[in-house]
Structure 1
């Protein structure tokens, strides 16, 4: 395997962790970014077991200086950046009329501005490597609803941001796409179900079964399934795909 480096944010759990472990088969080194160092170290062990080097950077991408720190440490350790996968970003699922300005700002700071700053900071290295960027959004970008207004609003902004970056990337040789996962069973999803169930007079077990039915899908997605799509988008086989928004949702979105 030739020297190739991917930066994965949100790599401590869920889709980010699954993506990092999957990319260890294709990249010689990975930078793993999230707030929880202990969980990042677990991801790093799995990445190293798969044969890739791992650099752990535990920080909060909502902080303005964090993006440049990730890029500087990655270049110091590995000398290049070939792929950037922006996966970090927990957005509170709170009703439109209940969210405070602070909660809105927290969601925007990490998922939107964190991804924007990191992509901008990494862009010179990505341009030099003719690299690839993926920004993760979500199906709620297509149908924002009052009970989780911030999720839909911020996810829609992520799609627009990716499209803008892809436009610049045509001239600079950097490929940029966004991914919209549907309901994926992660730790965050389980926490959501624990909150959602009592609101509908259900046990968590009942809610876990009922939610896919209400979404019109056969089952929840797996983080590893989204990881395969992410890996494809930063692979040589996807080089002509840029500015695209890809859904992987088990058929949740019924429109064409």
Structure 2
């Protein structure tokens, strides 16, 4: 294993956690970033069980100073940044007419601006390493709907931001792509269903069957499946792929 280092945000749960654990097979060092330290410790144990080193940074990337701190601690510990996976960011699913300014601002602050600032801060190290960046968007970037207005708007902005970074990266030798996951069964999604199902007269299991069917897919995706795509995008096999938006959604998007 080469002495390479990857930063994974949102590493405390869901796709971020699965991605960090998957990357422990390919990277010597993983920097795990999220707000929940206890959950990060669990991810770190899983990463180190595979032989990789880990560094926990429990910061809120919505804070303007956080990005500089993350990169500074990473370089102090490992001396390099070979890959950055921007996965952090939960956006409230609130109807277009009900969303408050504060909710809009909170969604933008972490998922969009947190990723933007961290990528800029890490860019010199990524440029030196000829590294790779992955942004996490989502299918709602392609078909935003009123009940999920903020999710769609922010995901579309992330997809556009990734394209802009990819354009800069062509000259700097940094590869940048974005991943658009479809419905993935994470702890956050299950928690939502546990609250939603009883209020609509059904069990959680019934709700888990209903939503994929309404989305036109066979089942929910698994975080580990998205993690495999993330790992490919920061691997040597994907070096000529840049500026791409990759959907992994079980066929949810039917358009060409």
TM-score when scaled to structure 1? Answer: 0.98
After superposition, what is the alpha-carbon deviation per residue over 1:6-45, rounded to whole angstroms, capped at 9, x for unaligned?
A: 0000000000000000000000001000000000000000
Alignment-derived partner of residue 5 in structure 2? 5
Distance 1:205 1:24 in 2: 33
Q: Per-residue deviation at 1:202? A: 3.4
In structure 1, how many angstroms separate the alpha carbons of the residues matched to 2:92 and 2:160? Answer: 20
Q: Deviations over 1:123-181 (max 9, x none)?
A: 00000000000000111111111111100110000000000000000000000000000
1:7-86 → structure 2 map (5 Å cutoff): 7-86=7-86
Shift in Å, 1:196: 3.9
Report 1:1-256 matches (<5 A). 1-197=1-197, 200-256=200-256
Superposition deviation, residue 203 in structure 1? 3.3
Aligned length: 256
Query: CA offsets, 1:180-221, max 9 Å, x none?
Result: 000000011112323443565433332111000000000110
Q: Where do 5+ consecutive residues of structure 1 fail to align?
A: none
Q: Take 1:188 and 1:101, find their aligned partners in 2: how far apart are those partners?
A: 23
Helix, strand or coil at the partner of 2:185: coil
Q: Which moved more, 1:241-250 or 1:140-149?
A: 140-149
Tell me, which stretches of 5 or more residues in structure 2 are unaligned?
none
CA distance in 2 between counterparts of 1:99 and 1:190 reads 23
TM-score, normalization by structure 2: 0.98
